[in-house]
């Protein structure tokens, strides 16, 4: 079994991202996609009130169906749509896009970009073998507007 240790660069980058991430507003919505490369199982959680809650629920659902119990969060997002693509060799790619970015056309367009970019990332990471990447999970965490 190969254990991957997070690098100092990864930990510092994560700390900076968390430090500058805007605080969640009362109407924000969070989603997450969990994935196991061992069992090729994916699970989603959408429209939760916190990133922690969405991640925890996606992981629990993924691990419930994965004998290896090795699921990890492949994508987490706020007020956005995301997707996960995999190939037959265990390569994966994920992407998310905000529904409210300038020039966006809402949920449908954001989900379309998420699907397309997830497949592109999967193919990019699959260098060395011909990748037939397919989307296996997709969802939108839609912001609540009272």
Domain holding 121, by residue range, is 26-140
pTM (global) more than 0.85:
no
CA distance 24 to 99: 16
At residue 26 the predicted structure's pLDDT band, cuts being 50, 70 and 90, is: low
**Contact of 93 with 118, CB cutoff 8 Å:** yes
Q: Bigger pLDDT: 133 or 9? A: 133
Summarised one tens digit per residue, pLDDT across range 73-87 is 999 999 889 999 999
Q: Provide the terminal-to-terminal Cα distance of the chain, rounded to the nearest Å.
A: 49
Report if residue 121 sits inside a domain: yes
Report if residue 85 sits inside a domain: yes
Query: Which helix (H) or strand (E) element contains residue 84?
Result: strand 80-86
Report if residue 36 sits inside a domain: yes
Report if residue 15 sits inside a domain: no
Report if residue 38 sits inside a domain: yes
At residue 4 the predicted structure's pLDDT band, cuts being 50, 70 and 90, is: very low
Report if residue 73 sits inside a domain: yes
**Contact of 107 with 83, CB cutoff 8 Å:** no
Mean pLDDT for 121-128 is: 87
Summarised one tens digit per residue, pLDDT across range 29-68 is 999 999 999 888 999 998 888 999 999 999 999 999 778 8
Neighbour tally for 37: CB within 10 Å: 17
Report if residue 1 sits inside a domain: no
Report if residue 12 sits inside a domain: no
**Count of domains forming the chain:** 1
Whole-Å CA distances, 15 to 8, 24, 97, 130: 10, 17, 22, 36
Long-range CB contact pairs, 16-19, < 8 A, 24+? none
């Amino acid at each position: 079994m190969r254990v991957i240790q997070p690098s100092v660069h990864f930990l510092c980058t994560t700390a900076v991202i968390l430090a500058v991430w805007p605080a969640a507003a009362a109407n924000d919505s969070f989603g997450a996609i969990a994935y196991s490369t061992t069992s090729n199982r994916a699970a989603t959680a959408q429209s939760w009130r916190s990133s922690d809650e969405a991640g925890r629920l996606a992981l629990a659902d993924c691990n419930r169906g994965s004998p290896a119990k090795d699921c990890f969060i492949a994508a987490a997002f706020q007020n956005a749509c995301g997707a996960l693509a995999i190939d037959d060799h265990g390569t994966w790619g994920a992407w998310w896009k905000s529904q409210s970015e300038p020039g966006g056309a809402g949920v449908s367009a954001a989900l379309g970009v998420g699907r397309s970019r997830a497949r592109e990332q999967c193919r990019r990471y699959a260098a060395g073998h011909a990748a037939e990447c397919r989307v296996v999970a997709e969802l939108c965490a839609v912001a609540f507007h009272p």
